[in-house]
Structure 1
């Protein structure tokens, strides 16, 4: 599993241009997961039901995870729309993103090369306007300890910017913490070592 952070869209983008009397409108949106990506495509298709084509592509997860990619030419000649759109998205290094390019036909054929340039170019232009955030990959695990160890654990968690999601107090203390996945094993090891093994960790897979 890749624990490195990646970029995701901070907000939606709409870009429009006219090429040989055809109107192209490019939409970019943050869509975490394939279901959200498909829902966004359906939303734009419904909004522009009168358009000749609503071509699209998505990268619904990590940028490099091809299992989360999808695309469609939506009636344009094969390979002239969906693939050029997807190529721009995968080349951007941004994840959880969907692009839909709506085309209102203007009566002048663009040819296959012209279509590739129009669809790919529209997404390329929209991407220049895109603002992104970094998505950190986090994991949760539980820490069980006696009351005297609370201060030590909270100090270690604070030094690593870890978040206490939940704390239960009974005969002992059970904390659920959320940490950057890249540092999870190191934080857990530090807690165990500094408590001289008197604190137990659960829910952390070493194959993260």
Structure 2
């Protein structure tokens, strides 16, 4: 399971007359992250700074940040720390700053850059990306109602139902929980269900 933003977003705020524009984008490779950073730098080439941070991989294996001219440790690292603290991955953040004439100091810069990323994340919302596996449940007609109720009570939506000589119900369950589900179904219905594992897919679930 990985957690990332629901969608790409741009969030702008003004702090002591400086404009801070946070761009968040979903990416899956370091190359894509760097391409996005460069595109923002071109788009905002007149800005004083285009500070960046990104995390890539299921367990944030790749982590990078750049202060882009701000005092060392006051911009890129605080942005990266927000991504790490909130356990977000496959995400690049670029905060563009147009200087307004009032210096913020080291503490003010840290709060501004970290806050900009935090506020943008809150504005767009998060999703978790979960791998699910198809499970086909083959049964006699007499079991259909009870099995359907059981699946509903377990929080599983029925994706498809096929009625021929028997009934086949298709559900998608979190892969990590599939073996337990099979055991529960076998026990609950005394081995009268034929269970067949199908394809896997990635599903986004709002947090």
Normalised TM-score (structure 2):
0.65
Q: CA RMSD in A?
A: 4.2
Which residue of structure 1 aligns with residue 44 of structure 2?
A: 48
Which residue of structure 2 aligns with residue 99 of structure 1?
A: 93
User: Is 1:150–2:144 an aligned residue pair?
Assistant: yes
Q: What SS does the aligned partner of 1:162 have? A: coil
Q: More strand by proportion, 1 or 2?
A: 2
Distance 1:180 1:50, change over 3 A: same
Which residue of structure 2 aligns with residue 191 of structure 1?
A: 185
Q: Is the 8 A contact 2:57 2:89 kept in 1?
A: yes
User: Is 1:25–2:51 an aligned residue pair?
Assistant: no
Which residue of structure 2 aligns with residue 86 of structure 1?
A: 80
Deviation string, structure 1 residues 29-62 (Cα, Å, up to 9, x no partner): 5x26447972754554453233243222234566
Deviation string, structure 1 residues 7-30 (Cα, Å, up to 9, x no partner): 8457835132245x654322345x
Deviation at 1:85, TM superposition (A): 0.6
Aligned equivalents of 2:71, 2:145: Cα separation in 1: 65
Which residue of structure 2 aligns with residue 16 of structure 1?
A: 13
Q: Unmatched 5+ residue regions in structure 1?
A: none
Q: Unmatched 5+ residue regions in structure 2?
A: 199-207
User: Number of paired residues?
Assistant: 196
Aligned equivalents of 2:73, 2:136: Cα separation in 1: 52
Which residue of structure 2 aligns with residue 161 of structure 1?
A: 155
Which residue of structure 2 aligns with residue 57 of structure 1?
A: 53
Aligned equivalents of 2:138, 2:178: Cα separation in 1: 18
Q: Is the 8 A contact 2:56 2:91 kept in 1?
A: yes
Q: Is the 8 A contact 2:41 2:50 kept in 1?
A: yes
Q: Is the 8 A contact 1:140 1:176 kept in 2?
A: no
Deviates more, 1:104-113 or 1:42-51: 104-113
Q: Is the 8 A contact 1:81 1:116 kept in 2?
A: yes
Deviation at 1:155, TM superposition (A): 2.2
